[in-house]
Amino acid sequence: MRKRGKIFILLSLSILILVVGITAQAEDVVPAEAMAKVNGNYIYQDFFDRYIDRQLNTYESNYGTDYTLPEHADDLLIIKSQILESMIGNEILRQAAIELGLEVTEDEIQAELDNIKVNYPDEATFLSILERVKYTLEDLRYDILLQKSFDKVTAYLGKSETVTEEEIQSYYEENISRYSQPEQIKASHILVDTEEEILAVVEQLENGADFAKLAEEKSTCPSSARGGELGFFSRGQMVPEFEYVAFKTEIGQISEPVQTEFGWHVILVTDKKEAAVQPLDDVRTNIETTLMLKKQSEKAVEYLKDKWEKAEIEYYVEFEPELETEPVN
């Protein structure tokens, strides 16, 4: 039985997907499937394996890397070590919430589970999707418990925190781009393949043809289904040639034909929004909430770091890369 240094891993504020099998045992006999023990509670192999399967599936889907291949053996050991440490951190969180009298109730878990289920057409679809991503209902319930435990610990430890007017002003000035809206225009267009075709379209428009109806009939762009409607867009969102002509065209006017890599266009500008910055008073409450959550979270993290340092943690597995050795002659 080995003990080693405790490395705190910051718990995410977003929905966690780390799942831990926890059972306290009175006997001084380590179960064969135990991977670690945190203040007397065991973390078990089956929960660990389910999380590993999900995580590796995510890596392969998002990055195309199969960490089960031999060439990734050392990386896989690192991933497994990090996951076990995270699971230990989650158990420390769960215990801390209970010690503070903030235990999450079954009613709270069920209420959150019901909120999640409303996003699916029926129970069968919900369970089918869980199975597809290798997630059990037990896993999800524990996930909810962890998130609510962190929320409660954060709110409890940070209840005395305050945000000053100077902090709000400073945050606003440092993040002014978040509250700035660039110049935008709303436009529709008709796209065809050749200059001859676009000139024919322009002639029809000059003779009174309805722009939206003509876009539905003639345009090769998917926006034709909406009468050529592109919605609002700002500079940098369209190809340069299209953008230049669109932004110099006045509201209600139809542009001259313009060629891009996609073909030939005519553009109808229907609205414009000037560049603007939201006043501080309009975003003050949002900034205050953001800063308060940051302060409360930092306080909770420091508290959990201390809990980690003081925890009795025992490890029953090692994830160390094998060292290559020179053959003995």
pLDDT at residue 322, as a whole number = 56
Cα–Cα dist 249/229, whole Å: 16
pLDDT at residue 28, as a whole number = 64
Cα–Cα dist 23/43, whole Å: 7
Check if the beta carbon of residue 158 is closer than 8 Å to that of residue 295.
yes
Q: Reduced to 3 states, what is the DSSP secondary structure of residue 153?
A: helix
pTM of full prediction above 0.95: no
Local confidence band at 325 (pLDDT 50, 70, 90 cut-offs): very low
Strands 34-38, 313-315: pairing is antiparallel
Closest of 262, 263, 273 to residue 201, by C-alpha: 263
Local confidence band at 15 (pLDDT 50, 70, 90 cut-offs): very low
Looking at every residue in the chain, the average pLDDT score rounds to: 89
pLDDT in tens, 294-322: 999 999 999 999 999 999 999 999 887 65
pLDDT at 277 over 50: yes
Check if the beta carbon of residue 267 is closer than 8 Å to that of residue 254.
yes
In the chain, the domains with their CATH numbers are 22-161+293-315 (1.10.4030.10), 183-274 (3.10.50.40)
pLDDT at 145 over 50: yes
3 CB neighbour count, 10 Å cutoff: 10
